[in-house]
Amino acid sequence: MERSRKQRLKQVEQPRMINRTILAMIICLMGMSLVTIFSTTYLQFDGGRIFPTIMQFIWYIVGFIGMSVVMQLDRKTIYHFAPVLYGIGIVLLVLVLFLYDRQQYVMFGAKSWFTIGPLSFQPSELMKFFYILMIGRLISEYTQRSQRMDYEHLPVKEQIRWDLKFIGRMIGWTIVPAGLILIQNDFGTTLVFMMIFVGMVFVSGINWRIIVPVALTLSLIFLILLFLVVYNRDLLYHLGFQDYQFARIDSWLAPFENTRRDSYQLSQSIKAIGSGGMFGKGFGNFEVYVPVRESDMIFTTVGENFGFLGASLLVFFYFILMFQMIAVAYESYDSFYIAGTAGIVSMLVFHIVENIGMSTGLLPLTGIPLPFLSQGGSALMTTMLCMGFILSIQYNQKRSEQEIQSQWLNRMIRKMSGGATIDHFVWH
Protein backbone atom coordinates (compact mmCIF):
# COMPACT_ATOMS: atom_id res chain seq x y z
CA MET A 1 0.00 0.00 0.00
CA GLU A 2 2.72 2.45 1.04
CA ARG A 3 4.84 1.40 -1.92
CA SER A 4 2.06 2.01 -4.45
CA ARG A 5 1.41 5.43 -2.90
CA LYS A 6 5.09 6.36 -3.35
CA GLN A 7 4.97 5.17 -6.95
CA ARG A 8 1.96 7.38 -7.64
CA LEU A 9 3.69 10.39 -6.09
CA LYS A 10 6.80 9.69 -8.12
CA GLN A 11 4.68 9.54 -11.27
CA VAL A 12 3.01 12.83 -10.47
CA GLU A 13 6.29 14.57 -9.73
CA GLN A 14 8.03 13.71 -13.01
CA PRO A 15 10.15 16.57 -14.32
CA ARG A 16 8.67 18.79 -17.02
CA MET A 17 10.70 19.43 -20.14
CA ILE A 18 11.05 22.88 -21.69
CA ASN A 19 12.86 23.04 -25.01
CA ARG A 20 15.70 25.40 -24.13
CA THR A 21 16.81 25.90 -27.71
CA ILE A 22 13.40 27.21 -28.77
CA LEU A 23 13.26 29.42 -25.68
CA ALA A 24 16.78 30.73 -26.37
CA MET A 25 15.89 31.59 -29.98
CA ILE A 26 12.77 33.46 -28.84
CA ILE A 27 14.88 35.48 -26.37
CA CYS A 28 17.50 36.23 -29.06
CA LEU A 29 14.77 37.41 -31.46
CA MET A 30 13.22 39.50 -28.69
CA GLY A 31 16.60 41.17 -28.15
CA MET A 32 16.94 41.93 -31.86
CA SER A 33 13.38 43.28 -31.94
CA LEU A 34 13.92 45.69 -29.05
CA VAL A 35 17.28 46.83 -30.42
CA THR A 36 15.99 47.47 -33.94
CA ILE A 37 12.79 49.21 -32.80
CA PHE A 38 14.79 51.39 -30.39
CA SER A 39 17.21 52.25 -33.17
CA THR A 40 14.39 52.96 -35.63
CA THR A 41 12.05 55.01 -33.45
CA TYR A 42 14.45 56.68 -30.99
CA LEU A 43 17.91 57.01 -32.53
CA GLN A 44 16.94 57.64 -36.14
CA PHE A 45 15.35 61.06 -35.58
CA ASP A 46 16.00 64.06 -33.40
CA GLY A 47 13.40 63.96 -30.65
CA GLY A 48 12.78 60.25 -31.19
CA ARG A 49 10.28 58.36 -29.03
CA ILE A 50 11.08 55.64 -26.51
CA PHE A 51 7.39 54.70 -26.17
CA PRO A 52 7.31 52.17 -29.09
CA THR A 53 10.23 50.23 -27.57
CA ILE A 54 8.55 50.19 -24.15
CA MET A 55 5.29 48.99 -25.69
CA GLN A 56 7.08 46.24 -27.60
CA PHE A 57 8.73 45.10 -24.38
CA ILE A 58 5.34 45.10 -22.61
CA TRP A 59 3.83 43.07 -25.44
CA TYR A 60 6.67 40.59 -25.09
CA ILE A 61 5.94 40.26 -21.37
CA VAL A 62 2.25 39.67 -22.14
CA GLY A 63 3.30 37.26 -24.89
CA PHE A 64 5.50 35.25 -22.51
CA ILE A 65 2.57 35.02 -20.09
CA GLY A 66 0.28 33.80 -22.88
CA MET A 67 2.95 31.36 -24.04
CA SER A 68 3.30 29.98 -20.50
CA VAL A 69 -0.46 29.51 -20.19
CA VAL A 70 -0.75 27.60 -23.48
CA MET A 71 2.33 25.53 -22.59
CA GLN A 72 0.50 24.25 -19.48
CA LEU A 73 -2.34 22.84 -21.56
CA ASP A 74 -2.11 19.19 -22.56
CA ARG A 75 -3.10 17.72 -25.90
CA LYS A 76 -6.59 16.66 -24.81
CA THR A 77 -7.42 20.10 -23.44
CA ILE A 78 -6.22 21.98 -26.53
CA TYR A 79 -7.85 19.44 -28.84
CA HIS A 80 -11.28 19.78 -27.26
CA PHE A 81 -11.06 23.56 -26.90
CA ALA A 82 -10.11 24.16 -30.56
CA PRO A 83 -13.73 24.48 -31.83
CA VAL A 84 -14.52 26.98 -29.08
CA LEU A 85 -11.53 29.14 -30.05
CA TYR A 86 -12.43 28.86 -33.73
CA GLY A 87 -15.96 30.05 -32.96
CA ILE A 88 -14.67 32.99 -30.90
CA GLY A 89 -12.37 33.95 -33.76
CA ILE A 90 -15.22 33.93 -36.28
CA VAL A 91 -17.36 36.13 -34.02
CA LEU A 92 -14.50 38.64 -33.71
CA LEU A 93 -13.98 38.69 -37.48
CA VAL A 94 -17.67 39.48 -37.98
CA LEU A 95 -17.73 42.16 -35.28
CA VAL A 96 -14.70 44.01 -36.67
CA LEU A 97 -16.57 44.54 -39.96
CA PHE A 98 -18.96 46.81 -38.05
CA LEU A 99 -16.82 48.11 -35.17
CA TYR A 100 -13.57 48.72 -37.06
CA ASP A 101 -11.32 51.68 -36.33
CA ARG A 102 -12.26 54.41 -38.85
CA GLN A 103 -8.89 56.14 -38.61
CA GLN A 104 -6.98 52.93 -39.32
CA TYR A 105 -9.32 52.28 -42.26
CA VAL A 106 -8.54 55.68 -43.76
CA MET A 107 -4.79 55.11 -43.33
CA PHE A 108 -4.52 51.48 -44.50
CA GLY A 109 -7.78 50.82 -46.35
CA ALA A 110 -8.62 47.72 -44.28
CA LYS A 111 -11.38 47.12 -41.73
CA SER A 112 -9.10 44.98 -39.60
CA TRP A 113 -8.62 46.74 -36.25
CA PHE A 114 -10.54 47.26 -33.05
CA THR A 115 -9.31 50.22 -31.03
CA ILE A 116 -9.63 50.53 -27.26
CA GLY A 117 -8.05 53.75 -25.99
CA PRO A 118 -4.41 53.88 -27.13
CA LEU A 119 -4.36 50.17 -28.06
CA SER A 120 -5.40 48.60 -31.34
CA PHE A 121 -6.17 44.93 -31.84
CA GLN A 122 -6.33 42.87 -35.06
CA PRO A 123 -8.57 39.78 -34.63
CA SER A 124 -7.37 38.21 -37.89
CA GLU A 125 -3.97 37.68 -36.25
CA LEU A 126 -5.43 35.64 -33.39
CA MET A 127 -7.61 33.79 -35.86
CA LYS A 128 -4.46 32.34 -37.45
CA PHE A 129 -3.70 30.42 -34.26
CA PHE A 130 -7.32 29.37 -33.71
CA TYR A 131 -7.59 28.22 -37.33
CA ILE A 132 -4.39 26.15 -37.08
CA LEU A 133 -5.73 24.34 -34.01
CA MET A 134 -9.05 23.68 -35.74
CA ILE A 135 -7.53 22.27 -38.92
CA GLY A 136 -5.05 20.29 -36.81
CA ARG A 137 -8.00 18.69 -35.07
CA LEU A 138 -9.64 17.84 -38.39
CA ILE A 139 -6.43 16.20 -39.63
CA SER A 140 -6.12 14.21 -36.41
CA GLU A 141 -9.69 12.96 -36.83
CA TYR A 142 -8.96 12.11 -40.47
CA THR A 143 -5.84 10.13 -39.47
CA GLN A 144 -7.69 8.16 -36.82
CA ARG A 145 -10.57 7.33 -39.15
CA SER A 146 -8.17 6.35 -41.95
CA GLN A 147 -6.44 3.90 -39.62
CA ARG A 148 -9.75 2.39 -38.53
CA MET A 149 -10.88 1.86 -42.13
CA ASP A 150 -7.46 0.42 -43.16
CA TYR A 151 -6.83 3.22 -45.67
CA GLU A 152 -3.56 1.74 -47.00
CA HIS A 153 -5.34 -1.36 -48.34
CA LEU A 154 -8.23 0.46 -50.00
CA PRO A 155 -8.37 0.66 -53.83
CA VAL A 156 -6.80 3.84 -55.22
CA LYS A 157 -10.16 5.18 -56.40
CA GLU A 158 -11.60 4.74 -52.92
CA GLN A 159 -8.59 6.49 -51.36
CA ILE A 160 -8.96 9.44 -53.71
CA ARG A 161 -12.71 9.66 -53.06
CA TRP A 162 -12.11 9.61 -49.30
CA ASP A 163 -9.35 12.24 -49.55
CA LEU A 164 -11.38 14.55 -51.82
CA LYS A 165 -14.22 14.52 -49.30
CA PHE A 166 -11.77 15.42 -46.56
CA ILE A 167 -10.23 18.26 -48.60
CA GLY A 168 -13.74 19.59 -49.15
CA ARG A 169 -14.28 19.63 -45.39
CA MET A 170 -10.97 21.44 -44.85
CA ILE A 171 -11.93 24.03 -47.47
CA GLY A 172 -15.28 24.50 -45.75
CA TRP A 173 -13.58 25.32 -42.44
CA THR A 174 -11.08 27.59 -44.26
CA ILE A 175 -13.32 29.59 -46.53
CA VAL A 176 -15.26 31.24 -43.68
CA PRO A 177 -12.35 33.02 -41.93
CA ALA A 178 -10.50 33.64 -45.22
CA GLY A 179 -13.65 35.13 -46.76
CA LEU A 180 -14.29 37.41 -43.78
CA ILE A 181 -10.69 38.65 -43.87
CA LEU A 182 -10.94 39.26 -47.61
CA ILE A 183 -14.08 41.34 -46.99
CA GLN A 184 -11.97 43.41 -44.56
CA ASN A 185 -9.79 44.22 -47.61
CA ASP A 186 -6.77 42.48 -46.08
CA PHE A 187 -5.40 40.48 -49.00
CA GLY A 188 -2.00 39.88 -47.33
CA THR A 189 -3.51 38.06 -44.34
CA THR A 190 -5.75 36.06 -46.67
CA LEU A 191 -2.60 34.84 -48.42
CA VAL A 192 -1.23 33.75 -45.03
CA PHE A 193 -4.31 31.58 -44.44
CA MET A 194 -3.87 30.03 -47.87
CA MET A 195 -0.25 29.15 -47.09
CA ILE A 196 -1.23 27.66 -43.72
CA PHE A 197 -3.84 25.55 -45.50
CA VAL A 198 -1.31 24.33 -48.09
CA GLY A 199 1.29 23.48 -45.43
CA MET A 200 -1.18 21.49 -43.35
CA VAL A 201 -2.53 19.63 -46.38
CA PHE A 202 0.99 18.41 -47.19
CA VAL A 203 1.37 16.68 -43.80
CA SER A 204 -2.21 15.42 -43.59
CA GLY A 205 -1.46 12.11 -45.32
CA ILE A 206 -3.60 12.86 -48.37
CA ASN A 207 -2.75 10.81 -51.46
CA TRP A 208 0.03 12.32 -53.60
CA ARG A 209 -2.12 11.68 -56.68
CA ILE A 210 -4.25 14.59 -55.48
CA ILE A 211 -1.52 16.84 -54.10
CA VAL A 212 0.71 16.86 -57.20
CA PRO A 213 -2.00 17.86 -59.74
CA VAL A 214 -3.35 20.52 -57.34
CA ALA A 215 0.14 21.96 -56.80
CA LEU A 216 0.77 22.08 -60.55
CA THR A 217 -2.65 23.68 -61.15
CA LEU A 218 -2.02 26.40 -58.55
CA SER A 219 1.40 27.10 -60.06
CA LEU A 220 -0.19 27.42 -63.51
CA ILE A 221 -2.87 29.79 -62.16
CA PHE A 222 -0.14 31.96 -60.59
CA LEU A 223 1.75 32.17 -63.89
CA ILE A 224 -1.46 33.02 -65.78
CA LEU A 225 -2.29 35.78 -63.29
CA LEU A 226 1.21 37.19 -63.58
CA PHE A 227 0.89 37.14 -67.38
CA LEU A 228 -2.46 38.95 -67.21
CA VAL A 229 -1.02 41.58 -64.84
CA VAL A 230 1.61 42.44 -67.42
CA TYR A 231 -0.37 42.11 -70.65
CA ASN A 232 -4.14 42.19 -69.99
CA ARG A 233 -5.41 43.79 -66.79
CA ASP A 234 -8.98 44.40 -67.94
CA LEU A 235 -9.96 40.82 -67.15
CA LEU A 236 -8.42 41.07 -63.67
CA TYR A 237 -10.36 44.30 -63.00
CA HIS A 238 -13.55 42.37 -63.72
CA LEU A 239 -12.40 39.69 -61.26
CA GLY A 240 -12.15 42.27 -58.47
CA PHE A 241 -8.48 43.25 -58.51
CA GLN A 242 -7.80 46.87 -57.55
CA ASP A 243 -5.38 49.58 -58.63
CA TYR A 244 -3.28 49.49 -55.45
CA GLN A 245 -2.61 45.77 -55.99
CA PHE A 246 -1.41 46.41 -59.53
CA ALA A 247 0.72 49.29 -58.24
CA ARG A 248 2.51 46.94 -55.86
CA ILE A 249 3.22 44.48 -58.64
CA ASP A 250 4.45 47.27 -60.91
CA SER A 251 6.82 48.51 -58.22
CA TRP A 252 8.06 44.94 -57.73
CA LEU A 253 8.75 44.43 -61.44
CA ALA A 254 10.32 47.88 -61.87
CA PRO A 255 11.28 49.26 -58.42
CA PHE A 256 13.18 52.29 -59.71
CA GLU A 257 10.81 53.52 -62.42
CA ASN A 258 8.29 55.43 -60.29
CA THR A 259 10.28 56.23 -57.16
CA ARG A 260 8.27 59.34 -56.31
CA ARG A 261 5.02 57.44 -55.86
CA ASP A 262 4.24 53.72 -56.01
CA SER A 263 7.85 52.49 -55.94
CA TYR A 264 9.11 54.94 -53.32
CA GLN A 265 8.97 52.59 -50.32
CA LEU A 266 10.50 49.64 -52.16
CA SER A 267 13.28 51.65 -53.80
CA GLN A 268 14.19 53.23 -50.46
CA SER A 269 14.17 49.81 -48.82
CA ILE A 270 16.57 48.37 -51.39
CA LYS A 271 18.88 51.38 -51.02
CA ALA A 272 18.89 51.13 -47.22
CA ILE A 273 19.68 47.41 -47.14
CA GLY A 274 22.32 47.72 -49.85
CA SER A 275 24.00 50.66 -48.15
CA GLY A 276 24.61 48.53 -45.04
CA GLY A 277 27.25 46.48 -46.85
CA MET A 278 28.90 43.57 -45.06
CA PHE A 279 29.11 44.94 -41.52
CA GLY A 280 26.49 47.71 -41.49
CA LYS A 281 26.76 51.36 -40.55
CA GLY A 282 26.46 50.74 -36.84
CA PHE A 283 23.70 50.88 -34.25
CA GLY A 284 21.46 53.92 -34.79
CA ASN A 285 23.21 55.14 -37.95
CA PHE A 286 20.81 55.88 -40.83
CA GLU A 287 21.31 57.59 -44.17
CA VAL A 288 18.23 56.38 -46.07
CA TYR A 289 14.66 57.19 -45.07
CA VAL A 290 12.22 54.25 -45.32
CA PRO A 291 8.53 54.63 -44.37
CA VAL A 292 7.12 52.39 -41.60
CA ARG A 293 10.51 50.91 -40.74
CA GLU A 294 9.35 49.89 -37.28
CA SER A 295 6.66 47.50 -38.55
CA ASP A 296 6.56 45.97 -42.02
CA MET A 297 9.97 47.30 -43.10
CA ILE A 298 11.91 46.45 -39.93
CA PHE A 299 14.33 44.31 -41.95
CA THR A 300 15.71 47.49 -43.52
CA THR A 301 16.98 48.57 -40.10
CA VAL A 302 18.71 45.21 -39.63
CA GLY A 303 20.32 45.52 -43.05
CA GLU A 304 21.41 49.14 -42.75
CA ASN A 305 22.58 49.08 -39.13
CA PHE A 306 24.12 45.61 -38.98
CA GLY A 307 24.79 44.73 -42.62
CA PHE A 308 24.86 41.34 -44.29
CA LEU A 309 26.28 39.68 -41.18
CA GLY A 310 23.49 40.98 -38.96
CA ALA A 311 20.82 39.93 -41.47
CA SER A 312 22.44 36.49 -41.79
CA LEU A 313 22.44 36.10 -38.01
CA LEU A 314 18.72 36.88 -37.96
CA VAL A 315 18.01 34.27 -40.65
CA PHE A 316 20.16 31.78 -38.70
CA PHE A 317 18.02 32.33 -35.58
CA TYR A 318 14.90 31.69 -37.66
CA PHE A 319 16.39 28.53 -39.16
CA ILE A 320 17.31 27.06 -35.77
CA LEU A 321 13.85 27.89 -34.43
CA MET A 322 12.04 26.24 -37.36
CA PHE A 323 14.28 23.18 -37.25
CA GLN A 324 13.66 22.68 -33.52
CA MET A 325 9.91 23.13 -33.91
CA ILE A 326 9.72 20.49 -36.63
CA ALA A 327 11.96 18.08 -34.67
CA VAL A 328 9.84 18.41 -31.52
CA ALA A 329 6.60 17.77 -33.41
CA TYR A 330 7.79 14.72 -35.30
CA GLU A 331 9.31 13.17 -32.20
CA SER A 332 5.84 13.27 -30.64
CA TYR A 333 4.41 10.84 -33.25
CA ASP A 334 1.06 12.60 -32.83
CA SER A 335 -0.95 13.73 -35.87
CA PHE A 336 -2.53 16.66 -34.00
CA TYR A 337 0.83 18.04 -32.90
CA ILE A 338 2.43 17.40 -36.31
CA ALA A 339 -0.40 19.10 -38.20
CA GLY A 340 -0.49 22.07 -35.80
CA THR A 341 3.27 22.53 -36.03
CA ALA A 342 3.10 22.32 -39.84
CA GLY A 343 0.54 25.12 -39.83
CA ILE A 344 2.64 27.28 -37.50
CA VAL A 345 5.85 26.67 -39.47
CA SER A 346 4.04 27.41 -42.76
CA MET A 347 2.72 30.66 -41.32
CA LEU A 348 6.08 31.80 -39.94
CA VAL A 349 8.09 30.76 -43.02
CA PHE A 350 5.67 32.61 -45.30
CA HIS A 351 5.91 35.70 -43.10
CA ILE A 352 9.71 35.54 -43.05
CA VAL A 353 10.19 34.85 -46.76
CA GLU A 354 7.58 37.39 -47.86
CA ASN A 355 8.78 40.15 -45.51
CA ILE A 356 12.48 39.77 -46.30
CA GLY A 357 11.66 39.16 -49.97
CA MET A 358 9.58 42.31 -50.30
CA SER A 359 12.19 44.38 -48.43
CA THR A 360 14.90 43.29 -50.86
CA GLY A 361 12.74 43.56 -53.99
CA LEU A 362 12.46 39.82 -54.62
CA LEU A 363 8.71 39.70 -53.89
CA PRO A 364 5.82 42.20 -54.16
CA LEU A 365 5.08 44.49 -51.21
CA THR A 366 2.43 43.27 -48.77
CA GLY A 367 1.44 44.35 -45.28
CA ILE A 368 2.98 41.28 -43.64
CA PRO A 369 5.14 41.80 -40.51
CA LEU A 370 8.43 40.05 -39.74
CA PRO A 371 7.78 37.52 -36.92
CA PHE A 372 9.13 38.47 -33.48
CA LEU A 373 10.78 41.66 -34.83
CA SER A 374 8.09 43.97 -36.21
CA GLN A 375 6.35 46.38 -33.90
CA GLY A 376 2.79 45.31 -33.14
CA GLY A 377 0.99 43.57 -30.32
CA SER A 378 -1.56 41.43 -32.19
CA ALA A 379 0.97 39.68 -34.43
CA LEU A 380 3.48 39.20 -31.60
CA MET A 381 0.83 37.81 -29.25
CA THR A 382 -0.31 35.31 -31.87
CA THR A 383 3.27 34.19 -32.52
CA MET A 384 3.93 33.71 -28.80
CA LEU A 385 0.74 31.66 -28.38
CA CYS A 386 1.95 29.47 -31.23
CA MET A 387 5.26 29.03 -29.42
CA GLY A 388 3.33 28.00 -26.33
CA PHE A 389 1.63 25.26 -28.35
CA ILE A 390 5.01 23.99 -29.60
CA LEU A 391 6.52 24.05 -26.10
CA SER A 392 3.50 22.21 -24.69
CA ILE A 393 4.42 19.12 -26.73
CA GLN A 394 7.51 18.27 -24.68
CA TYR A 395 6.29 19.97 -21.51
CA ASN A 396 3.31 17.62 -21.19
CA GLN A 397 4.98 14.55 -22.65
CA LYS A 398 5.75 12.88 -19.31
CA ARG A 399 2.92 14.33 -17.26
CA SER A 400 0.32 11.89 -15.98
CA GLU A 401 -3.39 12.46 -16.38
CA GLN A 402 -3.59 12.82 -12.62
CA GLU A 403 -1.15 15.73 -12.65
CA ILE A 404 -2.91 17.36 -15.59
CA GLN A 405 -6.29 17.07 -13.87
CA SER A 406 -4.83 18.60 -10.71
CA GLN A 407 -4.31 21.92 -12.52
CA TRP A 408 -7.30 24.25 -12.34
CA LEU A 409 -6.63 25.72 -15.80
CA ASN A 410 -6.91 22.37 -17.57
CA ARG A 411 -10.00 21.46 -15.54
CA MET A 412 -11.66 24.80 -16.32
CA ILE A 413 -10.97 24.68 -20.07
CA ARG A 414 -12.10 21.07 -20.35
CA LYS A 415 -15.28 22.00 -18.57
CA MET A 416 -15.83 25.00 -20.87
CA SER A 417 -15.42 22.83 -23.95
CA GLY A 418 -17.46 20.09 -22.29
CA GLY A 419 -15.32 17.48 -24.00
CA ALA A 420 -17.50 18.38 -26.96
CA THR A 421 -16.89 16.76 -30.28
CA ILE A 422 -17.49 18.21 -33.71
CA ASP A 423 -17.46 14.84 -35.41
CA HIS A 424 -21.13 15.11 -36.38
CA PHE A 425 -20.60 18.44 -38.13
CA VAL A 426 -17.25 17.50 -39.67
CA TRP A 427 -17.86 14.01 -40.90
CA HIS A 428 -21.57 13.70 -41.63
| pLDDT value of residue 193 | 95
> Distance (Å, rounded) from C-alpha 46 to C-alpha 266?
24
* Biggest alpha carbon–alpha carbon distance for the chain: 83
| Whole-number pLDDT of residue 21 | 95
Entry pTM? 0.89
If residue 121 lies in a helix (H) or strand (E), which one and from where to where? strand 119-121
* Cα separation values, 304 from 42, 271, 273, 311, Å: 16, 9, 5, 9
Long-range contacts of 166-174 (CB under 8 A, 24+ apart): 166/138, 166/142, 166/204, 166/206, 167/201, 167/206, 167/210, 169/138, 169/426, 169/427, 170/135, 170/138, 170/197, 170/200, 170/201, 170/204, 173/86, 173/131, 173/134, 173/135, 173/138, 174/131, 174/135
The identity of residue 404, as a single letter, is I
Q: Which of 317, 302, 278 is nearest to 29 (CA)?
A: 317
pLDDT at 417 (0 to 100): 67
Q: How far apart are CA 304 and CA 269, in angstroms?
A: 9
Residues of the chain below pLDDT 70: 1-16, 244, 400, 405-406, 408, 417-428
pLDDT of residue 48: 84
pLDDT on residue 418: 64
Report DSSP letters for 243-292, one per residue. HHHHHHHHHHHSTTTSTTTTTHHHHHHHHHHHHTTTT-S-TT---S--TT
